[in-house]
Amino acid sequence: MVTDKLTFVDFCAGIGGGRLGLQKLGLHCLAFSEIDKHAEKTYREFFGQEEKNYGDLMKINPLDLPNFDLMIAGFPCQTFSVIGQRKGMDDHRGQVIYGLIKIMKGKNLPYFILENVKGLVNHDGGNSLKVILSELDRAGYKVFYRVLNSLDYGVPQMRERIYFVGIRKDLIKDKTKDFEWPIPIKMPNIKNYLIDDGELEFDDKKRTYKTFLNFINNKYNKGKFDTEELLRQDYLVLDTRQSDLRLYKGKVPTLRTGRHGIIYVRSGKFRRLSGLESLLLQGFPEELAKKVKGKIMDIKLLSQAGNAMTVSTIEAVARKLFEYIKL
């Protein structure tokens, strides 16, 4: 693929998971747009101070942007999420899609990749998705979409998201050819992701352990679990988000903003998932994740990773886009 001459702008950038996926294919980032200052701090720790942050994309004049080839955006998911209030297109955050379309049209943009939560598929009886697809079609784009699970594309994390691939209609030579989505690959070994040596283990000397024991002995879990038996299962993952304890082997549940209840067993000890490990589970390379360890608070990294795009999934989707347009 000849992608090293292609450029992109990273919208709703978060901490740059989408950017990394594109850079792995040789594309060059010209700028980004992010309103969360904490996320921007992490982003700049990863990528430096050079690129301009255009801030709120709803206030961007497309003419002020440099010319670029591809838009990457994980547009706000709160309004479409099954765990949110599901206000959808009636919530002003749901209107961000119109801000993105304004930029697409203003720059006569060739390509885009967008990501959102799986809940968008059925929101408002499917009407929200129908409106988004209609608006993108009216803007001049052929759009393909599918729900993919990060578990199938290079990380041991259960993360279902809907992905949109858009190509300006005049650039499509063979209009009968369908877009081919990436084929699932073998899930990697979780041992390569749960590697943090920080002081995150807990036992009967720590208050967090007492909290965990109380959770195991609540009315939903009492009598179901033996802590000694759990501790014999290396790399067993425990999810304490729900009232009932959920166990996973070889994979972790979906990382989410505000979700800090993931525990796992290593070497006979319970350990809390760290910020570094959450970045690895989103496909961020270890050397990059280590750059922010100790610089960004762990609770911030856990939230930011939960709001990020999975690097390896974006890379897989983008590769298929460039195969489709024969770059």
Residue-wise pLDDT tens digits, 145-170: 999 999 999 999 999 999 999 999 99
Which pLDDT band holds residue 256 (cuts at 50, 70, 90)?
confident
Cβ-count burial 162-173 (b if 16+ within 10 Å, e if not): bbbbbbbeeeee
Which pLDDT band holds residue 211 (cuts at 50, 70, 90)?
confident
pLDDT, residue 146, reads 98
CB-based contact 157:150 (threshold 8 Å): yes
Out of 136-150, 194-208, 242-256, 289-303, pick the least confident: 194-208
Q: Where are the beta strands (DSSP E) in 16-174?
A: 28-33, 52-53, 70-73, 111-117, 141-149, 160-168
pLDDT, residue 57, reads 94
Asked if 61 and 158 sit in the same domain, the reply is yes
pLDDT, residue 86, reads 57
Asked if 159 and 221 sit in the same domain, the reply is no
Residue-wise pLDDT tens digits, 32-74: 999 999 999 999 999 999 999 999 999 999 999 999 999 999 9
Which pLDDT band holds residue 327 (cuts at 50, 70, 90)?
low
Q: d(Cα 19, Cα 13) in Å, to the nearest integer?
A: 8
Q: Print the domain residue range for 274.
A: 190-305
pTM > 0.75: yes
CB-based contact 32:72 (threshold 8 Å): no
Here the tokens at position 94 are 């749901």
Q: Which of 81, 63, 48, 59 is nearest to 11 (CA)?
A: 59
**Catalytic annotation on 77?**
yes
| CATH code assigned at 315 | 3.40.50.150
Here the tokens at position 324 are 């489709």
Asked if 161 and 293 sit in the same domain, the reply is no
User: Considering just the CA atoms, what is the radius of gyration of the chain in Å?
Assistant: 21
226 belongs to a structural domain: yes
Asked if 252 and 315 sit in the same domain, the reply is no
Asked if 173 and 291 sit in the same domain, the reply is no
pLDDT, residue 205, reads 76
Mapped onto helix, strand or coil, the DSSP state of residue 190 is: helix
- Asked if the model's pLDDT at residue 9 lies above 90, the reply is yes
Asked if 268 and 173 sit in the same domain, the reply is no
2 belongs to a structural domain: no
Mapped onto helix, strand or coil, the DSSP state of residue 306 is: helix
Asked if 165 and 30 sit in the same domain, the reply is yes
Asked if 249 and 280 sit in the same domain, the reply is yes
Which pLDDT band holds residue 2 (cuts at 50, 70, 90)?
low
Q: Which of 12, 25, 65, 77 is catalytic?
A: 77
pLDDT over 70, % of the chain: 93
pLDDT, residue 84, reads 54
Q: d(Cα 148, Cα 118) in Å, to the nearest integer?
A: 9
159 belongs to a structural domain: yes
Residue-wise pLDDT tens digits, 297-323: 999 999 999 999 999 999 999 999 999
169 belongs to a structural domain: yes
pLDDT, residue 286, reads 97
Q: d(Cα 31, Cα 65) in Å, to the nearest integer?
A: 8
- Asked if the model's pLDDT at residue 94 lies above 80, the reply is no
Asked if 124 and 46 sit in the same domain, the reply is yes
Which pLDDT band holds residue 126 (cuts at 50, 70, 90)?
confident
More confident residue, 175 or 279: 279
Asked if 145 and 271 sit in the same domain, the reply is no
1 belongs to a structural domain: no
Count of domains observed in the chain: 2
pLDDT, residue 293, reads 94
Here the tokens at position 285 are 């390379």
Residue-wise pLDDT tens digits, 182-210: 999 999 999 999 999 877 777 777 777 88
Asked if 183 and 229 sit in the same domain, the reply is no
Asked if 60 and 78 sit in the same domain, the reply is yes
